[in-house]
């Protein structure tokens, strides 16, 4: 039996959403150790899995790998459409499980487009592939319009910067029990609207924050500057999304961020992707204080939710045989 575990990812934002700049998108994010998707696999004839989404991914993987089939069991899965990259991590874990069951190389990056992943951001694929803090190069704007490309008609954006983050850093992840973030056709339509209206000046400001604050802080392990930088990047992204999501952060994420931002255990806060997940950066010595602060923030806003404290992971998905 093969067992594959892929951690969630946080998506801090994009570098550019304006068609007036040479590169479009350009994701910035980090791989987490938890929460995670875990899949067990055995070789088989045909595809056998009780989870319809995983079975569909597995059939594609079986064709890509030219193998006989697989028997899959989903042991753990990420919450869907909350900003943790559940779709990409599930697809990459399934591909890796099918490949490992037949002693094949999954070639995650090359095969991700066939599974419908990596069309905008390359952060999720890179998180499964290598882990760490990742910046991707986006796509040449000339190849894109405001509409999404046809399924699979892309290559995953290249990783232009990657840093291993200190093992004593912790991300407190609060997932409020509220409406899920956008996905599928609704996400595509919202992104189309955002790209058509995006102010290119915001991209220029993001470039400065990334180059002069976030990347040096990641290289040096400077948690305070890194946290402040990714928070700033998220707020700038929110200016692009404000009309589509009801503010710089989608409700109730904004109120949760406000409640957490001034806490002494926290050095950076923001919304991951379309939310509603909110993250806060701390370290191992203050993790429980930050967890309590996150719970208090949910209570103050009047919503329940799940809270996970996770280290960043500096490796890709894990395969055990």
159-188 confidence digits (pLDDT tens): 999 999 999 999 999 999 998 766 667 777
Pairing outcome for strands 133-136 and 268-271: unpaired
Residue 180's pLDDT is what?
A: 73
Residue ranges covered by each domain of the chain:
2-320
**Which pLDDT does position 179 carry in this prediction?**
80
pLDDT of residue 114: 95
- Evaluated on CA atoms 186, 192, 197, 203, the torsion sign reads positive
Q: Residue 270's pLDDT band (boundaries 50, 70, 90)?
A: very high
**Model pLDDT, residue 277:** 97
Query: What is the pLDDT at residue 153?
Result: 74
Task: pLDDT band for 295, please (50, 70, 90 cuts).
Answer: very high
Task: State the average pLDDT over residues 262-283.
Answer: 96
pLDDT at 145: 65
Best mean pLDDT range from 135-144, 187-196, 311-320: 311-320
Q: What is the pLDDT of residues 41-78, one digit of tens each?
A: 999 999 999 999 999 999 999 999 999 999 999 999 99
Question: For residue 174, what are the CA distances in angstroms to 75, 101, 112, 114, 307?
Answer: 22, 34, 28, 32, 5
247: left (phi over 0), alpha (psi -120 to 50) or beta: left
Q: What pLDDT score does 182 carry?
A: 62
Top-tier CATH class for 2-320? alpha beta
Tokens of 298: 């949910």
Q: Report, as an integer, the average pLDDT of 68-92.
A: 97
Per-residue pLDDT at 214 exceeds 90:
yes
| Cα four-point dihedral sign 265, 271, 275, 276 | positive
For residue 154, the model assigns a pLDDT of: 84
Residue 146 is predicted with a pLDDT of 61
Rounded percentage of the chain residues whose pLDDT exceeds 70: 96
Angle value at C-alpha 300, between 297 and 304, nearest 5 degrees: 75
What rounded mean pLDDT belongs to the chain?
A: 94
Note whether 194 and 241 are within 8 A (CB).
yes
Whole-angstrom distance, CA of residue 11 vs CA of residue 30: 7
pLDDT of 258: 96
């Amino acid at each position: 039996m093969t067992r594959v575990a892929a951690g969630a990812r946080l998506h801090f934002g994009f570098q550019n959403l304006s068609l007036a700049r040479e590169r479009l998108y350009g994701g910035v994010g980090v791989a987490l150790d938890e929460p995670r998707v875990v899949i067990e696999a055995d070789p088989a004839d045909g595809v056998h899995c009780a989870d319809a989404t995983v079975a569909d991914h597995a059939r594609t993987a079986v064709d890509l790998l030219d193998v006989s089939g697989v028997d899959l069991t989903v042991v753990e899965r990420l919450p869907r459409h909350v900003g943790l990259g559940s779709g990409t991590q599930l697809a990459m874990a399934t591909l890796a499980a099918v490949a490992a069951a037949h002693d094949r190389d999954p070639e995650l990056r090359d095969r991700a487009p066939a599974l419908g992943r990596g069309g905008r951001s390359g952060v999720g694929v890179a998180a499964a592939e290598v882990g760490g803090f990742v910046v991707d190069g986006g796509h040449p704007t000339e190849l894109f319009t405001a509409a999404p490309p046809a399924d699979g008609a892309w290559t995953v954006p290249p990783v232009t910067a990657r840093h291993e983050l200190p093992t004593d850093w912790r991300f407190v992840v609060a997932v409020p029990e509220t409406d899920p973030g956008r996905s599928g056709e609704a996400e595509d339509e919202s992104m189309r609207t955002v790209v058509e209206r995006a102010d290119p000046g915001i991209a220029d400001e993001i470039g400065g924050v990334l180059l002069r604050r976030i990347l040096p802080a990641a290289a040096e392990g400077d948690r305070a500057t890194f946290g402040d930088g990714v928070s700033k990047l998220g707020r700038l992204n929110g200016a692009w999304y404000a009309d589509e999501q009801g503010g710089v952060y989608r409700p109730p994420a904004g109120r949760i961020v406000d409640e957490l931002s001034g806490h002494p255990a926290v050095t950076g806060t923001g919304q991951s992707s379309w939310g509603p997940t909110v993250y806060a950066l701390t370290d191992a010595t203050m993790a429980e204080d930050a967890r309590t602060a996150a719970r208090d923030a949910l209570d103050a806003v009047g919503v329940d939710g799940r809270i996970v404290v996770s280290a960043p992971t500096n490796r890709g998905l894990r395969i055990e045989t």
